[in-house]
Amino acid sequence: MRLLILGGNGFLGRAIATYACAAGHDVTCAARGLSGPIAPGAGFVFVDRDDADGHEPLTHYKFDTVVDVSRHPGQVRRAVAALKQRSGHWIFVSTVSVYSDNRTPGQRADTAPLQEPTAPQIELGTEENYGAAKVACEQIVGEGALICRAGLLVGPEDPTGRFSYWPARLARGGEVLAPGTPEDAVQFIDVRDLAQWIVLAAQDRLTGIYDGIGPTYHRGEILAECASALGSSCTFTWVDRAFLERHKVRRWAGPRSLPLWLPLPDFAGFATRDTTPARDAGLRVRSVSETARDTLGWLRASNGPVAGLTMDEELELLAAWHARWRASGS
């Protein structure tokens, strides 16, 4: 298979290139070369997709499958115009952030309501319009393609540091500040599992719309499993939303956050997507233990990024939580 990855040097793109090369395919990555290295064995073509004729260098080749990971409607429009008719199969990597309803649990890709797309003149996706811009990208890609709506990507080489916070924190052991309750839902996918499935989907010329994400876990079960996989002894202190918000702990990701925490009930549906269709189409996921061990190994070997509470912030919050209960006499 001659496979073109539009953006093959980012977190997911590089993983797709790695698996495709290992499966013996002829892989070309097209990017500016700013986001990271190209997987060994893959070819590279310089393109600037923000230029009106930026995809022109790729029109000299013929590809069986094109994978596009862009978040910018302008880039997707230009790629579709230049390459889609000449290519056998099109895969667009979208996101579960396209959905408009984050509250209702158990939704499926084929029936869940979407956000309104960005207006046709909007070229660039931003942090603010991310989901709406991806809806616009999906509509530009149109029928006859595979739309893979990825969930939270985790694992080695994650540039965001968000899932990585947990293996790094759990490996230190001791009393761990944990958000919400042990029963809260958490859902993600190891980037290597999604990449492997996308290569399989390319081989099978799969079309349609799927959520590319792993099963729903309970947060308590995940943290305990990761701690055990890392040989670490932890106790968990679960703190509620009101406390976290009062102490300005951020949700989801970034500095002073408890990563992967989303407040309930607002996000009760976000981490409970029904992935039966993707599983039926061949998506397989490795154990959380393996993801945690490999992520920690990579962090230690490469000094990779970790984002969340600092040690001091966590200690201060634990002290404030315990003081609060002492003050109320419980």
Ligand X SMILES: NC(=O)c1ccc[n+]([C@@H]2O[C@H](COP(=O)([O-])OP(=O)(O)OC[C@H]3O[C@@H](n4cnc5c(N)ncnc54)[C@H](OP(=O)(O)O)[C@@H]3O)[C@@H](O)[C@H]2O)c1
| Site residues (vs ligand X, CB under 6 A) | 7, 9-13, 31-35, 47-50, 69-71, 93, 95, 150-153
What is the C-alpha to C-alpha distance for residues 227 and 223, in angstroms, rounded to an integer?
6
The one-letter amino acid code at 239 reads V
Q: How far is the CB of 7 from ligand X (least distance, A)?
A: 3
- Does residue 282 sit in helix, strand or coil? coil
Q: Which is nearer to ligand X, 150 or 306 (CB)?
A: 150
State phi, psi for 163 to the nearest 5 degrees.
-60, -35
Q: Which is nearer to ligand X, 241 or 273 (CB)?
A: 273
Length of the chain as a residue count: 330
State phi, psi for 44 to the nearest 5 degrees.
-130, 135
Q: How far is the CB of 330 from ligand X (least distance, A)?
A: 38
Q: Which of 179, 191, 122, 115 has the alpha carbon at shortest distance from 153?
A: 191
Q: Is the distance from CB of 61 to CB of 2 less than 8 angstroms? A: yes
- R_g of the chain, CA atoms, integer Å: 21
Q: How far is the CB of 75 from ligand X (least distance, A)?
A: 6
Q: Which is nearer to ligand X, 11 or 321 (CB)?
A: 11
Q: Which is nearer to ligand X, 151 or 180 (CB)?
A: 151
State phi, psi for 119 to the nearest 5 degrees.
-65, 150
Q: Provide the 10 A C-beta neighbour count for residue 231.
A: 9
- Does residue 74 sit in helix, strand or coil? helix
Q: Which is nearer to ligand X, 71 or 241 (CB)?
A: 71
Q: How far is the CB of 77 from ligand X (least distance, A)?
A: 13
Q: Which of 259, 223, 220, 234 has the alpha carbon at shortest distance from 175?
A: 234
Q: Which is nearer to ligand X, 13 or 180 (CB)?
A: 13
Facing residues of 4 across strands?
A: 28, 66
Q: How far is the CB of 60 from ligand X (least distance, A)?
A: 17
Q: Which is nearer to ligand X, 33 or 208 (CB)?
A: 33
Q: How far is the CB of 5 from ligand X (least distance, A)?
A: 8
Q: How far is the CB of 245 from ligand X (least distance, A)?
A: 24
